[in-house]
Structure 1
Amino acid sequence: MRSILILTGRDDLTADAVIEELVKRGEDVVRYDTGDFPTASRLAVSLTGDGWTGSLTGSRAVRLESIKSVWWRRPNEFRTPGDWPGHARALAVSEARSGLLGVLGSMPVRWINHPSRDAAANYKPVQLAVAARCGLDVPRSVITSDPGHAREFIGAEAVVYKGLGGGVIGPGGKRQFLPVALVSADQVDDGVSGTAHLFQESVDKAYEVRLTVIGDRMFPVAIHTGSEAAQLDWRTDYQSHRYEVVGMPPNVERGVHRLMDELGLFFGALDFAVTPDGRWVFFEVNPNGQWHWLAVRAGVPLVEAMADALQGETA
């Protein structure tokens, strides 16, 4: 039997739901946490004319040549022995990443998503430029470390300030993000010169849409927010949300297909605002965004769609 490999940690409810669905369908599923490598896992492969063959052993062993698809879900960082010197641990992690991910990434199977594509698409400036080229409506935006440039862009009306990256791991292992904020020109000072900043025009929203894309299938869900904080950033107040499955304009659907193709993504969680006059304004695509809560709260068959995709064998 061919196997489906899911790369994620042990505490992942989204993966749990998809694994349960795949097992019901009779699939062989191997769950593997990269955080186990190399301390609690072994890689033993050899190069042949068909690529790398051999075994990856974690909680159970899997032959690489038996794998038909891989879900790059929520893998943890590689871990090395804690009593090694810091420089040795850093080198070992670098070698582990290059070795294990290099071997797995060379497999000509379906990836959701391939880690190299995932990493490249995470750059927000890349997303915005590609989205604009693909015909999607993108807010007026600047990325700058020049206070004068920022004040000139802002002008008399407040604009939205957003983080460019996915945050950092702070004290206690908790991920910290830059909050979305409204910023006026008089709030910009010389501190802007300390790093790069993203400023975008403020978009008048009737509601927002989280669009989950799995292959050729698209699942748009409207998010109607019920608080002032959620109106600016819906992630700040999930309790105020009301969800509704909605249709999508054909021109937006075409633009999304082009965007996903150009970024090389099989899966994406895309965020849009829909204006009172019906324009769909693109904000971002998260190549590994969360979606299980929409399956539960909005009744969208995302678990089944992900299982369908992982059962496919086309790269």
Structure 2
Amino acid sequence: MRDRRPVLVLTNLYDVTADVVLRRLADRRVPVVRLDPGTDLHTDASLTATYRTGDQRGILRTASREIDTTRIRSVWVRRPSPYEGPQGVGDQDRRFAAEQALWGAGGILAALPGAKYVNHPWRNRAAESKPAQLSTAQRCGFLVPATVITNDPDDAREFVALQPGGAVYKPLWNTHYRVDGRPHSVWVREVREGEITDAVSFCPHMFHAKVDKVFDVRVTATGSRLFGVRIDSPDLDWRFRQDLMACAPIEVPKPVAHTISVYLAEFGLVYGAFDFAVTHTGDWYFLECNPNGQWSWQPAQTTAAIAHALTDQLEKGLRT
């Protein structure tokens, strides 16, 4: 008998990457509910959960459906909007509503019995921390560039000065930033000792030894399946001018593949987007792992394979 339990996809209205997987789920006749809790719960959706000794129940109502949340088979935490509270109320009331929604609705959606999460939002959050990534990566056995995270300008200058091949700066979080009212991205860039000012004391900064790389690699891990793409770019940070980069599938070495599986298990992740810098000697240096990284920009064959693997995970649910 066909499993009629729905898959819940938490994402914003404009997420075209999610659409790729949603079409595949539809082709397989898997019921899907799409929800952006940060916005939909202020408009045409409601969420109720009831807890009693030995019993848990829940109802999610949208404009078109009513779902028993205890029967959701999988949850794909894709790119939901942040909980910001309803429009048209005072700042204090809006902040109160936003925090109640985060811990209330967000808490309900993170505690659905019997559901498989790709990935669980709390595990995503833990795995987004750069210090946690680096600590876990070196513990699991990845090669990791020498790195310092500090708000001490003297420590930063000393570290940069000691790197024979140079050093780079990388932000610890992709904070929304504007210059003259326009969105501005902070890219990875090379930094010299003399450029480091006392402004470093304002907040922690991350610097790491520049890897003498030949090319970059993105490895998209979905369960036990790995999809590697070699990236050749004229820029230190290949994201800066993606129109100039060239991508091609690449095989992931077995030792790296094994360490990826150990890393995912450490964080309890089903999905992860790993970035590596590969040297002339063939060493793969771990740079970071985005537990919710984009993947639809990759070559068409790779993108299709990742979408297929994600669809498999969501359709299967917790079945082994």
| Residue aligning to 1:208 | 216
Cα deviation, residue 171, structure 1 = 8.3
Residue 108 of structure 2 aligns with an amino acid whose one-letter code is V
More deviation, 254-263/34-43: 34-43
Considering only aligned residues, what root-mean-square deviation do their CA atoms show, in Å? 2.0
| Residue aligning to 2:205 | 197
Q: Deviations over 1:256-290 (max 9, x none)?
A: 11111111111111100111110000000001100
Cα deviation, residue 52, structure 1 = 3.3
Structure 1 counterpart SS, 2:297: helix
Q: Specify which of 10, 22, 31 is matched with residue 13 of structure 2.
A: 10
Structure 2 counterpart SS, 1:150: helix
How many positions carry a matched residue from both structures?
Answer: 311
Question: For residues 103 and 169 of structure 1, do their structure 2 counterparts lie closer, same or farther at Cα, with a shift above 3 Å needed?
Answer: farther
Cα deviation, residue 170, structure 1 = 4.7
Identity in percent:
37
Q: Specify which of 35, 45, 67 is matched with residue 62 of structure 1.
A: 67
The alignment status of 1:116 with 2:119, answered yes or no, reads no
| Residue aligning to 2:86 | 81
Q: Specify which of 289, 295, 298 is matched with residue 293 of structure 2.
A: 289
CA distance in 2 between counterparts of 1:169 and 1:74 reads 19
| Residue aligning to 1:186 | 194
Question: For residues 173 and 186 of structure 1, do their structure 2 counterparts lie closer, same or farther at Cα, with a shift above 3 Å needed?
Answer: closer
Structure 2 counterpart SS, 1:220: strand
What TM-score, normalized by structure 1, do the two folds share? 0.93
CA distance in 1 between counterparts of 2:301 and 2:231 reads 11
CA contact (8 A) 1:213 1:267 kept: yes
Q: Deviations over 1:157-210 (max 9, x none)?
A: 431000011212658998654221111111112111111110000001111101
The alignment status of 1:27 with 2:35, answered yes or no, reads no
Runs of 5+ consecutive residues of structure 1 not aligned to the other structure: none
CA contact (8 A) 1:36 1:79 kept: no
Structure 1 counterpart SS, 2:212: coil
| Residue aligning to 1:162 | 170
The alignment status of 1:253 with 2:261, answered yes or no, reads no
What TM-score, normalized by structure 2, do the two folds share? 0.91
CA contact (8 A) 1:36 1:78 kept: no
CA contact (8 A) 1:272 1:281 kept: yes
CA contact (8 A) 1:161 1:198 kept: yes
Question: For residues 167 and 177 of structure 1, do their structure 2 counterparts lie closer, same or farther at Cα, with a shift above 3 Å needed?
Answer: farther
Question: For residues 300 and 31 of structure 1, do their structure 2 counterparts lie closer, same or farther at Cα, with a shift above 3 Å needed?
Answer: closer
CA contact (8 A) 2:167 2:210 kept: yes
